[in-house]
């Protein structure tokens, strides 16, 4: 599956409670993490990105940060407020203009594996049955979700079931093993300590 057929999804509507400030705004390589991640997605060949921003107010703030990108970037607020990542994923999949796959990343994940992304696209295309989810073991993000998964998400949100792993187990799934070097894609910066460590390591590499 070509990258241009996949919509990028960035979940950026959370409260960032453990970080103490909005993770999407943390500086990485001299720019907010949200913009850094959007640029990385576009560099893969993705042409459209949807940012699940949680609220309209936050969406207005993000729109300014994302100006000037060469792809199409849309923002969507949660239909189920204060319901965590499942609400953001539901909002983004529901906002996709046509059936297809969305490549979902949390806004605190600064690394995209180009090889793993490509393998996920091939797995989705080559599967005998159209999977609703292509992921690696126990990882809900850096994953492909089909728009058909929005129905299952909505049912769970309506009954207040916000657990991520039961959702993953309920979807028709193709699971891949990460190759050497691809595990870095699952780094997340959800505490000040993890963020400082990541920035320090990047500084030492440069």
How far apart, in whole angstroms, are the C-alpha atoms of residue 54 and residue 64?
Answer: 16
Q: Is 43 part of any known ligand binding site?
A: no
In order of 2, 39, 106, 184, the CA distances from 70 in angstroms are 18, 9, 21, 26
Considering only CA atoms, which of 167, 190, 188, 32 is closest in space to residue 88?
167
- Report whether 206 belongs to an annotated binding site: no
Spatial neighbors of 109 by CB under 8 A, at least 6 apart, are 37, 141, 142, 185, 186, 187, 188, 189
Mean pLDDT over residues 124-141, rounded?
93
For the entire predicted model, the pTM comes to 0.94
- According to the annotation, is 108 in a ligand binding site? yes
Confidence of residue 205 (pLDDT cuts 50, 70, 90): low
The answer to the question of whether 23 is labelled as a binding residue is yes
Residues 6+ away with beta carbon under 8 Å from 176: 116, 119, 120, 123, 134, 135, 136
Q: Which phi and psi angles does 18 have, rounded to 5°?
A: -75, -30
Phi, psi at residue 201, to the nearest 5°? -65, -40
Q: Which two tokens stand for residue 177?
A: 């093993």
pLDDT attached to residue 113: 97
pLDDT digits (tens, 9 = 90+) for 4-43: 999 999 999 887 777 878 999 999 988 999 999 999 999 9
CB neighbour list of residue 6: distance below 8 Å, 6 or more residues apart: 46, 100, 101, 102, 103, 121, 144
Task: Give the tens place of pLDDT for each residue, 160-180.
Answer: 999 999 999 999 999 999 999
* Domains of the chain with CATH codes: 3-205 (3.90.550.10)
pLDDT at position 128:
83
């Amino acid at each position: 599956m070509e990258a241009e057929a996949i919509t990028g999804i960035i979940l950026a509507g959370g409260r960032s409670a453990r970080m103490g400030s909005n993770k999407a705004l943390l500086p990485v390589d001299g720019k907010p993490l949200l913009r850094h991640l959007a640029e990385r997605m576009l560099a893969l060949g993705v042409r459209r990105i949807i940012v699940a921003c949680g609220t309209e107010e936050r969406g207005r703030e993000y729109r300014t940060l994302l100006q000037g990108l060469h792809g199409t970037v849309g923002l969507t607020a949660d239909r189920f407020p204060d319901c965590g990542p499942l609400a953001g994923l539901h909002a983004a999949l529901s906002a996709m203009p046509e059936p297809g796959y969305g490549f979902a990343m949390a806004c605190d994940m600064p690394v995209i594996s180009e090889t793993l992304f490509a393998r996920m696209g091939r797995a989705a295309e080559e599967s005998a049955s159209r999977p609703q989810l292509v992921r690696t073991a126990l990882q809900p993000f850096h994953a492909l979700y089909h728009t058909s998964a929005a129905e299952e998400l909505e049912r769970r949100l309506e009954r207040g079931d916000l657990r991520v792993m039961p959702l993953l187990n309920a979807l028709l799934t193709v699971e891949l093993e990460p190759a050497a070097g691809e595990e870095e894609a699952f780094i997340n910066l959800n505490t000040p300590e993890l963020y400082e460590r990541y920035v320090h390591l990047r500084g030492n590499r440069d």
